[in-house]
Structure 1
Amino acid sequence: MNYTTQVTNEEQTKNIAAHLAKFAKAGYLVILEGQLGAGKTTFTKGFAQGLGIQKVIKSPTYTLIREYKQGRLPLYHMDMYRLEEVGGGDLGLEEYVTGDGVVMMEWATFVEDELPEERLVVKLDRDEENISNRTITLIPHGKEYISWLADFQKDLAGEKNE
């Protein structure tokens, strides 16, 4: 039960993410996939807005982990790209992933062996002909994430009917 949609600007991307955040629970893991410039940080900005986080969301490329704790749930935005050669064994990923907030992780392939199988994968694909267009696909893995996606879709359907 995947969900796929087309967006044509950053605000639409943020809106999808904000709706998803409404139903997020502590301990959720969201894997963000997409090439450079696909909108991973933009998606995270919308998700943060949906959690009520007011701080400016920045890419964690050089810090690995950015923590935002003032919303409904803490948000841990991670970028594992720099761990390609070493993995994330010393980062305490398990504490984050099973902790009190939501983990949004970019480039998770570099720490794949250290992550639970249950998660939500968000694929962001940029249209090469019109770079402002994106395809966003949400892929749940596990019962909890299937339920999360179902709640999200009901919420979106209700908004369209208003």
Structure 2
Amino acid sequence: MVRIVLKGLKETEEFGEKLGSILKPGDIISLTGDLGAGKTTLTKSIGKGLGVEDYITSPTFTLINEYKGRINLYHFDVYRLEGSMDLYDLGFEEYIYSDGISIIEWGDKIEEVLPKERINIRIEKGAELDERIIYIYGEGERFEQFIKELNID
């Protein structure tokens, strides 16, 4: 598990852009954290790193938003989902097994339907107002490659 402390909004945005720049087609990110922890803020920055020019918003009521960039971004928010079976009505598998990047906010709610090989990111509020603590964990070859590319000392 990798632990990163981000000291403010600027560092969080820079970190998200870096993530977006190293993501590869087919990568899946499961984002978790309390309400207001910064999941959508991080997603916006990842989108910027992917070259997304549209304004990224939380798909809380639509469940999924699609954005065009260097790689297509599929942004899910499953907070209001009744159960993971509802995802199949959305064509969930077509998104996560595509050549796009899938970011799933509240991914822990549907963990049983997510592929094992994914990048898990948990965001926690730090001691200071805009401080965030990021935990990155996962398994598999792509996760190991991702951590090397992230190049965190």
TM-score (norm 2): 0.92
Tell me the distance in 2 between the aligned counterparts of 1:42 and 1:4.
18
- CA shift at 1:131, angstroms? 2.9
Query: Which of 131, 137, 140 is matched with 1:139 structurally?
Result: 137
Query: Which of 143, 149, 152 is matched with 2:150 structurally?
Result: 152
- CA shift at 1:42, angstroms? 0.7
- 1:10-48 Cα distance to aligned partner (Å, 9 max, x none): 221111111112121111100101000000001001101
Tell me the distance in 2 between the aligned counterparts of 1:38 and 1:84.
22
Q: Percent of aligned pairs with the same residue? A: 37
Unaligned runs of 5+ in 2: none
Unaligned runs of 5+ in 1: 158-162
Matched residue, 2:75: 77
- CA shift at 1:108, angstroms? 1.7
- 1:120-146 Cα distance to aligned partner (Å, 9 max, x none): 01110002x433111011113211111
Matched residue, 1:100: 99
The count of corresponding residues between Structure 1 and Structure 2 is 152
Alignment of 1:1-162 (within 5 A): 2-69=1-68, 71-85=69-83, 87=85, 88-127=87-126, 129-153=127-151
- 1:106-126 Cα distance to aligned partner (Å, 9 max, x none): 112332222111100111000
**Contact kept? 1:84, 1:110, Cα under 8 Å:** no
Deviation beyond 6 Å, 4+ runs, structure 1: none
Partner of 1:81: helix, strand, or coil?
coil
Q: Which amino acid aligns with 2:26?
A: G
State which drifts further: 77-86 or 45-54. Answer: 77-86
Q: Which amino acid aligns with 2:150?
A: F
Tell me the distance in 1 between the aligned counterparts of 2:65 and 2:125.
25
Aligned alpha-carbon RMSD (Å): 1.5
**Contact kept? 2:73, 2:103, Cα under 8 Å:** yes
- CA shift at 1:5, angstroms? 1.3
Tell me the distance in 2 between the aligned counterparts of 1:85 and 1:3.
30
